[in-house]
């Protein structure tokens, strides 16, 4: 990839300040950008790096007014952070278009693949699967019989999708994630042994969802485990059977959500959070890192923290008293 400042401005609807022919072929963080790279500046606390950067081109907000001379060519856009995200998506899409072949794979005769579907080596696609247009399936992916995958999805290497799953459009499944494994359901018998409960439901994933590497979303015992539109789930998370994750909720790494819990829309869940089963979390809730939610959160828009979690403002009061008591001792 090689672009000029002029090309970048045209792609993002921006303006150039400096040499319009300045070229870059890679990306670099503003604190150590170098010649031939593009950096971006969006956070005011990094402004001092603007004046020391050696990057060839610097993407900045349209209203940025430098206080000192700037060496890189500036490309001004309404929002530098959004502009950088759009550019990286354009570059990724261009690179993928250069790699359209079908490798050594096993595709059932009854499976139907849309236009421009890319399939890597050692992929297995089961009977009666439906794969939408322009979806990319990388090496060593297994897609079980009867699964439906929408358009413009990206299925990275090593993903395992069990039979009968439903996946929407523009979904990204990162390497090694598992969609539709059995839930953890067992009944304790009188003799102390455990009897497995079969899980016969599926997983339904909406549009524009991204699920991180080595995350597992279990199939429902009955009906569906549901991941609604726009959800973002980080690496190494566990979504148990019959959970519902509401639209546009974001969940950081190592979070576990137990069976039949319902997370509302627009929630922000930090890393290492636990949510017990059969509870409801209201829309737009924020859960701090390492917290454990053991009961319903009924009021939307609140922030909870602690183990077990309480309202953040109450946690801060309690922690202040704890510190005071510890100092007195």
Looking at the annotation, which residues are catalytic? Answer: 241
Q: What are phi and psi of 324, to 5 degrees?
A: -60, -45
CA atoms within 13 A on the CB side of 65: 0
How far apart (Å, rounded) are the C-alpha atoms in residues 12 and 86? 8
How far apart (Å, rounded) are the C-alpha atoms in residues 200 and 185? 12
Q: What six digits make up the tokens of 302?
A: 């609140």
| Residues 22, 81 contacting (CB under 8 angstroms) | no
Q: Residue 325: exposed, middle, or buried by beta-carbon count in 10 A (0-12, 13-18, 19+)?
A: exposed
Q: What six digits make up the tokens of 185?
A: 């359901």
| Residues 121, 104 contacting (CB under 8 angstroms) | yes
Length of the chain: 329
Quick one: which of 175, 233, 229 has its CA closest to 204? 229
Quick one: which of 182, 266, 267 has its CA closest to 216? 182
Quick one: which of 77, 44, 42, 38 has its CA closest to 58? 38
């Amino acid at each position: 990839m090689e672009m000029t400042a002029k090309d970048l401005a045209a792609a993002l609807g921006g303006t150039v300040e400096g040499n319009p022919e300045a070229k870059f072929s890679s990306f670099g963080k503003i604190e150590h950008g170098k010649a031939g790279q593009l950096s971006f500046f969006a956070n005011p606390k990094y402004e001092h790096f603007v004046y020391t950067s050696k990057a060839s081109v610097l993407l900045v907000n349209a209203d940025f007014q430098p206080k000192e001379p700037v060496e890189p060519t500036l490309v001004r856009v309404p929002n530098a952070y959004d502009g950088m995200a759009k550019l990286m998506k354009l570059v990724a899409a261009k690179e993928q278009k250069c790699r359209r072949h079908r490798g050594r794979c096993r595709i059932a005769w009854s499976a139907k693949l849309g236009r421009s579907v890319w399939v890597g080596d050692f992929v297995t696609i089961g009977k009666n699967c439906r794969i939408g247009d322009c979806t990319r399936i990388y090496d060593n992916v297994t897609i079980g019989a009867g699964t439906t995958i929408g358009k413009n999805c990206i299925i990275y290497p090593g993903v395992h999708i069990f039979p009968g799953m439903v996946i929407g459009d523009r979904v990204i499944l990162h390497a090694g994630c598992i969609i539709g494994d059995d839930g953890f359901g067992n009944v304790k018998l009188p003799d102390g042994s455990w009897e497995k409960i079969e899980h016969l439901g599926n997983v339904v994933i909406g549009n524009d969802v991204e699920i991180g590497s080595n995350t597992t979303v279990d199939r429902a015992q009955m009906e569906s485990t549901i991941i609604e539109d726009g959800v973002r789930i980080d690496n190494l998370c566990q979504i148990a059977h019959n959970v519902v994750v509401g639209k546009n909720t974001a969940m950081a790494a190592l979070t576990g959500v137990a069976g039949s819990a319902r997370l509302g829309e627009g929630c922000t869940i930090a890393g290492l959070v636990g949510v017990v089963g059969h509870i409801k979390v209201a829309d737009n809730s924020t859960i701090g890192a390492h917290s454990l939610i053991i009961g319903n959160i009924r009021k939307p828009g609140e922030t909870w923290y602690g183990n077990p979690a309480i309202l953040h403002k109450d946690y801060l009061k309690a922690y202040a008293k704890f510190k005071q008591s510890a100092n007195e001792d």
